[in-house]
């Protein structure tokens, strides 16, 4: 389903940072991390969509 447990943990932690961060400088760094991790998340979504109909 997911390409890497560690990448998925980073995505989860990033989501928490997004929800709780308010400093403009931190938001810029968070945005860069979102851009870096987005392809991993999209890939995982595709894998889940391919797997789910076969259940």
Domain limits for position 23:
5-54
Determine the Cα–Cα distance for residues 31 and 29; give it in Å rounded to an integer: 5
pTM score: 0.65
Question: What would the pLDDT profile of 3-52 be if each residue is shown by its tens digit?
Answer: 688 888 998 888 888 888 777 778 888 899 999 999 998 998 888 888 76
The tally of domains found in the chain comes to 1
């Amino acid at each position: 389903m997911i390409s890497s447990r560690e990448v998925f943990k980073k995505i989860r932690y990033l989501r928490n940072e997004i929800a709780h961060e308010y400093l403009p400088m931190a938001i810029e760094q968070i945005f860069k991390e979102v851009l870096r991790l987005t392809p991993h998340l999209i890939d995982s979504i595709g894998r889940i969509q391919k797997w789910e109909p076969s259940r």
